[in-house]
Amino acid sequence: MMWYGDGWGWGGWIVMTVFMVLFWAVLIIGLVALVRYLTGAHHQQSGPPAPSGAGGWQERQAENLLAERFARGEIDDDEYKRRLALLREHR
């Protein structure tokens, strides 16, 4: 078989090189984003804390602090239950 004409010439090589680099860049960025998404799904959100009325980690933090005070003996069982009920009532 014979080859007729120049085809794309140097322009074809440049276009193919650019598209190959773009293809691999998009593939690698996509894989990194997928891994970060899959591994980051179990972590708490980062950034500024939510407003106190919005709930979330602040309520859990308050309950954990209350549980720590109870464990250290700073408050008794009745006070712990009363304060825990009060915290959960205002959700």
Q: Is 25 contained in some domain?
A: no
- Which is more confident, 3 or 27? 27
Q: How far apart are CA 14 and CA 55, in angstroms?
A: 55
pLDDT at 2: 60
Percentage of residues in the chain with pLDDT exceeding 70? 70
Q: Is 32 contained in some domain?
A: no
* Helix, strand, coil percentages in the chain from 3-state DSSP, rounded to 5: 70, 0, 30
Helix (H, G, I), strand (E, B) or coil at 71: helix
pLDDT at 46 over 60: no
Mean pLDDT across the chain: 80
Rounded mean pLDDT of 36-51? 63
Q: Is 47 contained in some domain?
A: no
Task: Check: CB of residue 50 under 8 Å from CB of residue 62.
Answer: no
Q: Is 90 contained in some domain?
A: yes
Task: Check: CB of residue 31 under 8 Å from CB of residue 18.
Answer: no
Total structural domains within the chain: 1
Q: Is 60 contained in some domain?
A: yes
Q: Which domain holds residue 78?
A: 55-91
